[in-house]
Amino acid sequence: AWDSDNDGDYDAAAIDEDFDGLFDLWLFDTNNNGVTDLYAVDTNEDGVEDFYAYDGDENGVAELYYADTNADGFIDFYGEDLDENGVLEFYAADSNFDGTVDFWAWDTDQNGAADVWLLDANFDGFPETWLADTNGDGAPDYGWIDSNIDGEVDLIVIDSDFNGAVDIVTGK
């Protein structure tokens, strides 16, 4: 444990949970008030933390989550649970690990499954596809595509009877 300002409250602690000589869990008090508010975990046991949880209001439940899923040293997943109910309301990911977010999702009805998605399929930093699950079955049934990224929708697709097949397509 470390007390960087010698106030008697530890600012950081590291724990080797499996006694292999590598720290698995780090606990941080980022604002020096004596309460842990940032947790870091080494999930793949390579000696480098790759999952983080931040508890900004210090009530013991994290609101923000970050992860380095491919162990390259860069965050490629971000999630928010702002109402602290254990269900992420929002998350974003860098699916091709190029340093730019290309996938966004929201769980607007708080059922544990995303119901709105934005996709950047060509990885240029601008989402061109929007999908929504309007009936809560976990499958998109409405969406639009701006294929040339000119700010105008080129194609709208709708599964009006919620059977998993698109039955209405409109476009220019």
pLDDT at 156 over 80: yes
Q: How many CB atoms lie within 10 A of CB 3?
A: 14
* Gap between the Cα atoms of 114 and 83, Å rounded: 16
DSSP 2: B
Beta strands 25-28 and 38-41 are antiparallel
pLDDT at 149 over 90: no
For residues 93-102, give the mean pLDDT: 92
Calculate the CA dihedral of residues 151, 156, 157, 160 and round it to 10 degrees: 130
In percent, the amount of the chain with pLDDT more than 70 equals 99
Global pTM reads 0.74
pLDDT at 172 over 70: no
pLDDT at 23 over 90: no
Convert the pLDDT of each residue in 53-62 to its tens digit. 999 999 989 9
> With bands split at pLDDT 50, 70 and 90, how would you rate the model's confidence at 73?
confident
pLDDT higher at 127 or 77: 77
Instruction: Identify the burial level of 115 via C-beta atoms within 10 angstroms of its C-beta, where 0-12 means exposed, 13-18 middle and 19 or more buried.
Output: buried
What is the overall mean pLDDT for the chain? 87
